[in-house]
């Protein structure tokens, strides 16, 4: 996992922070030798060697996907952009620790996921008001064993998820977003979370059940026909 306290081996940290934070436009004339056709693995190698332009191209390629993922995790576009920016700063500072046997996207999502969970926990610490009270503490049998939300259209999932996600733990929310929205397999999610695939499946199963239970209360029309009560 990323150790934020461990110093990097980048000689000019401030210069590289500004590289990670500055806007990147496709086809910048100063990016000599870095084009859209360059394999990502080559860009990573160049960036690890201190090539700021190669890293800027990595940011350009990956930023929209990271922001979209964080928007679903955090439910707020501004927070998503802030955490995405921090993600790429953290990536630059720790590139020397990246293990090339991993897919770069997996490593990137691990850092973004850790920061998203930190942001969710910080948000709860700052404001334990109405959002905290939305958590459901239930007893007795759960409504159904089916996948529930997985049977809905993707747009319906997004809308209902934003309204109901407060019932999920950070890890349940993370697994659900990675699986249902990012369409990642259990194996890669396990690598991102540094856990077993069985743990991923358990988080996903419990998250779907909690969401379904909340949907029964708030959006019964989406559960009708899926084995739940209308």
pTM of whole model > 0.85? no
In percent, the amount of the chain with pLDDT more than 90 equals 47
Express each pLDDT in 109-128 by its tens digit: 999 999 999 998 887 655 44
Mean pLDDT of 51-76: 94
- 180-204 burial, b if ≥16 CB within 10 A, otherwise e? bbbebebebbbbbbeeeeebbeebb
Average confidence score pLDDT of the chain: 75
**pLDDT for position 206:** 92
Query: What distances in angstroms separate CA 191 from CA 21, 100, 186, 198, one per listed residue?
Result: 27, 14, 9, 12
Instruction: Give pLDDT, residue 75.
Output: 87
Q: Greater confidence, 109 or 36?
A: 109
Residue-wise pLDDT for 125-143, tens only, equals: 554 433 333 333 333 333 3
pLDDT at 11: 39
Please say if the pLDDT value at position 103 is more than 90. Answer: yes
Of the chain, the percentage scoring pLDDT greater than 70 comes to 65
pLDDT of residue 54: 95
Residue 185's SS3 state is: coil
Give the model's pLDDT for residue 95.
94
Which string of b and e fits 103-116 if b means at least 16 CB within 10 Å? ebbebbbbbbbbbb
- Mean per-residue pLDDT, 161-170: 86
Which of 134-138, 156-160, 195-199 has maximum average pLDDT?
A: 195-199
| Domains defined along the chain, listed by start | 13-126 (1.10.1740.10), 134-223 (1.10.10.10)
Please give the average per-residue pLDDT across 25-34, as a whole number.
40
Structure confidence at residue 225 as a pLDDT band (50, 70, 90):
very low
Mean pLDDT confidence for 185-196: 94
> In whole angstroms, what is the distance from residue 117 CA to residue 174 CA?
8
| Predicted local confidence at residue 125, as pLDDT | 59
């Amino acid at each position: 996992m990323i150790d934020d306290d461990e110093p990097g081996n980048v000689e000019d940290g401030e210069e590289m922070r500004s590289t990670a934070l500055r806007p990147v436009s496709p086809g910048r004339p100063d990016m000599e030798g870095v084009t859209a056709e360059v394999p990502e693995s080559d860009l990573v190698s160049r960036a690890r060697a201190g090539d700021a332009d190669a890293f800027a191209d990595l940011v350009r390629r990956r930023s929209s996907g990271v922001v979209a993922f964080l928007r679903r995790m955090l439910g707020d576009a501004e927070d998503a952009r802030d955490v995405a920016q921090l993600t790429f700063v953290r990536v630059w500072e720790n590139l020397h620790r990246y293990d090339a046997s991993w897919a770069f996207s997996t490593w990137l999502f691990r850092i973004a996921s850790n920061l998203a969970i930190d942001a969710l926990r910080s948000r709860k610490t700052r404001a334990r008001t109405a959002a905290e009270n939305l958590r459901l503490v239930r007893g007795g049998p759960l409504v159904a064993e089916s996948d529930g939300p997985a049977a809905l259209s993707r747009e319906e999932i997004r809308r209902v998820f934003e309204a109901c996600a407060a019932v999920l733990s950070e890890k349940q929310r993370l697994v659900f977003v990675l699986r249902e929205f990012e369409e990642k397999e259990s194996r890669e999610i396990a690598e991102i979370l540094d856990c077993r695939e069985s743990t991923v499946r358990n988080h996903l199963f419990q998250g779907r059940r909690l969401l379904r239970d909340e949907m029964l209360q708030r959006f019964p029309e989406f559960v009708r026909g899926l084995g739940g009560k209308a």
